[in-house]
Amino acid sequence: MLKRNPAFKNLIQLEHPLVKSYITKIRDKNTSYFEFRTYVDKLSMLLAYEAGKELGLKAKKILTPLTPFNGTVIKDEIVLMPILRAGLGLTNGFASIFPEARISHLGVYRNEITLQPIRYYFKFPRLKDKKNSIVYILDPMLATGGSMCSAIDEAKKTGVGKIVAACLVAAPEGVKEVQKYHKEIKIFTCALDKKLNHVGYIVPGLGDAGDRLFGTL
């Protein structure tokens, strides 16, 4: 089940009971980093399933053990682009749903004073057919929107056919920022939170996703 927010045209929020339960678990400050990673992995698979509805299909004739069959397969080349480092937490879940996906990496960190994104690394695969390709940009937290906008800019430079953003938790400020500069981009999320605090953290949020994923608190 998906929820559409009239205030944000291209924001798609998952409403599945498992999503609500797992989000609550990763919000809990008493959840261990091991449990945190486990539930993030489960959430990323649910997120990938729904975001997979953006994929295109093509006809394919096959032979079953009994007869010829006119079936369908995914026509798009899929690229997963996690924003380092926290975006790595969503990669396994997406890769399990899209096993043939290639994986790009984008290194962006946020200046803690200006809150502006600073890119330090980008590696993108060679694609056979850029027109029929889709990039999923992965980041657990859509906060100010700066890192996501920077990632979308980089993805657009590659000439891919479609770009989709995926996050676990989003702030209204971040969604507005993405839709201000990239109106056509769909954002799939598990939760839309209330706001950003004075230092740019999502409230109620779940803290620093990278630290909680990798046990570096």
Q: For residue 110, indicate whether it is catalytic.
A: yes
Residue 146, domain extent: 2-59+67-214
Residue 199: per-residue pLDDT: 84
| Secondary structure, 3-state, the chain | CEEEECCEEEEEEECCHHHHHHHHHHHCCCCCHHHHHHHHHHHHHHHHHHHHHHCCEEEEEEECCCCEEEEEEECCEEEEEEEECCCHHHHHHHHHHCCCCEECEEEEEECCCCCCEEEEEEECCCCCCCCCEEEEEECCEECCCHHHHHHHHHHHHCCCCEEEEEEEEECHHHHHHHHHHCCCCEEEEEEECCEECCCCCEECCCCCHHHHHHCCC
Tokens of 90: 């969503």
pLDDT score at 16:
94
Is 28 in the active site?
A: no
N-to-C CA span, the chain:
34
* Catalytic hit among 31, 41, 102, 211: 211
Q: Tens-digit pLDDT profile for the chain (217 aa)?
A: 667 776 788 999 999 999 999 999 999 999 999 999 999 999 999 999 999 999 999 999 999 999 999 999 999 999 999 998 899 999 999 999 999 999 999 998 777 777 677 888 999 999 999 999 999 999 999 999 999 999 999 999 999 999 999 999 999 999 999 999 999 999 999 999 999 998 889 999 998 888 899 888 7
| Whole-number pLDDT of residue 7 | 72
Pairing of strands 117-123, 105-110: antiparallel
Catalytic residue (one of 27, 102, 110, 119): 110
Compute the half-sphere exposure of residue 170: CA atoms within 13 Å on the CB side of its CA: 29
Q: Nearest 5°: phi and psi at 123?
A: -135, 125
32 CB-near residues (< 8 Å, 6+ apart)? none
Q: What CATH code is carried by the domain that includes residue 155?
A: 3.40.50.2020
- 114 in active site: yes
Do the bridges between strand 8-14 and strand 57-63 make them parallel or antiparallel, or are there none, so unpaired? unpaired
- Out of 119, 208, 212, 216, pick the active-site residue: 208
Q: How many domains is the chain partitioned into structurally?
A: 1
